[in-house]
Structure 1
Amino acid sequence: MTHPSHGAFWFPFPALPDIGYTGSIESFVKEVVTVKHSLIRWGLALLGVGLVLGGRTPVAHAQTEQPGALVKVGHYTASTDLLNLSQYYQTTRQTRVAVAYVPTTHFGKRVMRTLTLPKGTVVAGYLTQQKHGSRLTPALLLYASRLSHYRLATAQPAGYTVDPTADTDATPTVITGTKQLSAFKRVPCPKYMPAYSHGDLYLGGATAALSPEEPHQTSLRITPDGYVELLTYATNVRTGLGFYQQPTSQAKIYQTRFNDPYRKLYVRHALPGLHLTHVKNSGLRQYCLTLKNLHRPQHIAGDPLKGVAGTFDSLYLVGGTPYYTFIGFDGASN
């Protein structure tokens, strides 16, 4: 798995325009979407980057889900267009989607499998538009590999692992058509998701976050569908799949309490390898895992002459143990 904060190249435009639509998908399907609208969004993205580098637009200090907004990241100002600002969707009924899997121990052809998502499942993705002939039609692109191992394993062939490289703007998990799109509704970012993070945290503090080495020890993952997973890096698999194997421990999140800087996740049972607080003797919320945002983001400078953007990482204490998570780019590249 390539951690984006270590030598990642930044492309000056989003691969697909972000529509930023917050209403129901069914309503969106009924609207007329034009190329002009897309060009305006691209222009706004460019304007956002320009403001980061020298504008005087007011800056927000709290987390926001608004695209094109300016926020403070430590001593820096960043555009949310360059941070990990995911959109989240919840299934309104049981539905099936296509997910890509690849051979676990060797490079080979990926295979597609049908994954069933129960009603109420939350997934990360974004609503965009795709061109079919002379028409633009709405499409929902889903980042399937961010789902829990518990869910992905239900469709995973023996000897295969979900393909994390498929979670790009070319993801094969694409929802189109009025009927299929109506199975998803836009929802706010779940409270259990760390701010501007895809949910993947890695063991270590500031030193580890600033290190050029790829993480290769322990990862904590908070998934969009509401699971906590502790993963140990697997060395006997192909490159990029080390943190996508069977978790050493995992649990469903039944409740979240957020009071900045603390995010408390309540689960039914203990998680070996993590320090949880025992709060009840019965029920679904017997243990509590506390994530504390230290609000000391780390910045790795890029190289504008080489087209390499700087990156940001957030530092956390997870049950008292230091972790970090990649949260986005600074946009300072050519």
Structure 2
Amino acid sequence: MKKQMMRWVLGLVAFAMVSIGGMTAQAASPMVKIGGVSVERSFLNIGTYYQATRAAKATVTYYKTSKPDTQYTKVITLPKGTIMSGWIIPKHKLAKGQWGNELSLVDGNLNYTLVNQGAKKGYLASGVVSYALKKFKKVKTPAYMPTYSYGDLYLGGAKATRESDSQVKQIVRITSNGYVELIHQNKRTNSDGAFAGKPSSQAKIVKTKVKGATRYLYLNTKMKGVKTTRVGKKSAYQYRLALKNLHQPQNLSSYDDDRGEIYVFDSLYAVGGVTYYTLICNGSDIED
């Protein structure tokens, strides 16, 4: 599932690069090292973050979990201050024959309640786009986001990274707009929707402190299924979740006759003391 998402993301980036000013070539990406292996920086999960300076409309596509090809769209309002990670797709033909730019974000980037509230029964949110680009400004990556990650942390250690995602029982999702969600796998839907369902527990991040390899996420409520520490009694910062980067990148790279070397790396984290992994790199010398 996570690898399918990354192919979709890389496709958006490629489209944007080809479309800007009619350019067809891409400048060479600088190299970085992960676990002693040199990879192009563009292979890393490095999103660009945008914050709504005012309430902004966005169009959400919903698909039927039992029949993914059955879809509908609905316009929602993103509150002022909402942070989303995505790419600006240059001017192209929009709905109703109009032309314009489009801000498209990664699936699962916003919290479940915001994008799924009021959705038809049996449907889940998929793509989210906004055409109100004047209402967004570019911002730095939020401190609560894991390094080179889009925020999905899968339960399991080094061994689990080499198994199918279908074996994962649950994920902890750090959303771009500052929520922590615990989501259990739904085996009754397709692989892309396995972790798109309603969280069993969730909390708003109200403050973040970074100390060494650990991000301390201060939450507005206690979470079930994830170890949170109570650090106050009355303030909005009563509970704290520790998110520690274990700095143990897992090299899952392979070779393909058509694409050459395919670079895939997961990073291990301790979430409330329990080991999870998150995809941080996915790319090849010859993209699809």
**TM-score, scaled to structure 1:** 0.76
Mapped pair 1:16 → 2:15: yes
Question: Counterpart of 2:113?
Answer: 150
Q: Residues 71-110 of structure 1: matches in 2 within 5 Å?
A: 71-110=32-71
Q: 1:215 to 1:151 in 2, by over 3 A?
A: farther
Question: Counterpart of 1:43?
Answer: 26
Secondary structure of the 2:277 match is strand
Contact 1:5 1:312 in 2 (8 A): no
Structure having the higher strand fraction is: 2
Contact 2:49 2:85 in 1 (8 A): yes
Quote the Cα distance in structure 2 between the aligned partners of 1:5 and 1:202: 15
Quote the Cα distance in structure 1 between the aligned partners of 2:9 and 2:104: 21
How many Å apart are 1:4 and its aligned residue? 1.2
Corresponding residue to 1:325 among 278, 283, 288:
278
CA RMSD, 1 decimal: 2.8
Corresponding residue to 1:302 among 224, 238, 254:
254
Per-residue CA deviation, residues 8-45 of structure 1 (Å, 9 max, x unaligned), is 799899422359xxxxxxxxxxxxx733xx34xx330x
Q: 1:146 to 1:11 in 2, by over 3 A?
A: closer
Contact 1:97 1:114 in 2 (8 A): yes
Code of the aligned partner of 2:47: S
Code of the aligned partner of 1:290: A
Question: Counterpart of 2:220?
Answer: 268
Per-residue CA deviation, residues 146-198 of structure 1 (Å, 9 max, x unaligned), is 210121122422221112xx4xxxxx6242xxxx2111110111011101111
Secondary structure of the 1:197 match is coil
Q: 1:231 to 1:153 in 2, by over 3 A?
A: same
Quote the Cα distance in structure 2 between the aligned partners of 1:234 and 1:212: 15
How many Å apart are 1:122 and its aligned residue? 0.5
Secondary structure of the 2:108 match is helix
Contact 1:95 1:118 in 2 (8 A): yes
How many Å apart are 1:258 and its aligned residue? 1.4
Q: 1:5 to 1:262 in 2, by over 3 A?
A: farther
Corresponding residue to 1:162 among 107, 118, 125:
125
Identify which range, 233-242 or 307-316, moves more after superposition. Answer: 233-242
Code of the aligned partner of 2:181: E
Unaligned runs of 5+ in 1: 20-32, 49-68, 167-171
Per-residue CA deviation, residues 305-333 of structure 1 (Å, 9 max, x unaligned), is 14261301000011110000001125345
Unaligned runs of 5+ in 2: 94-98
Contact 1:304 1:332 in 2 (8 A): no
Contact 1:305 1:333 in 2 (8 A): no
Question: Counterpart of 1:312?
Answer: 265
Quote the Cα distance in structure 1 between the aligned partners of 2:214 and 2:79: 30
Per-residue CA deviation, residues 282-325 of structure 1 (Å, 9 max, x unaligned), is 12110110011011101112223142613010000111100000
Q: 1:255 to 1:268 in 2, by over 3 A?
A: same
Code of the aligned partner of 1:182: K
Quote the Cα distance in structure 2 between the aligned partners of 1:85 and 1:210: 23
**TM-score, scaled to structure 2:** 0.88
Code of the aligned partner of 1:198: Y
Secondary structure of the 2:49 match is strand
Percent of aligned pairs with the same amino acid: 32
Quote the Cα distance in structure 2 between the aligned partners of 1:231 and 1:9: 22
Contact 2:6 2:282 in 1 (8 A): no
Mapped pair 1:243 → 2:243: no
Secondary structure of the 1:190 match is coil
How many Å apart are 1:216 and its aligned residue? 3.1
Contact 1:9 1:307 in 2 (8 A): no
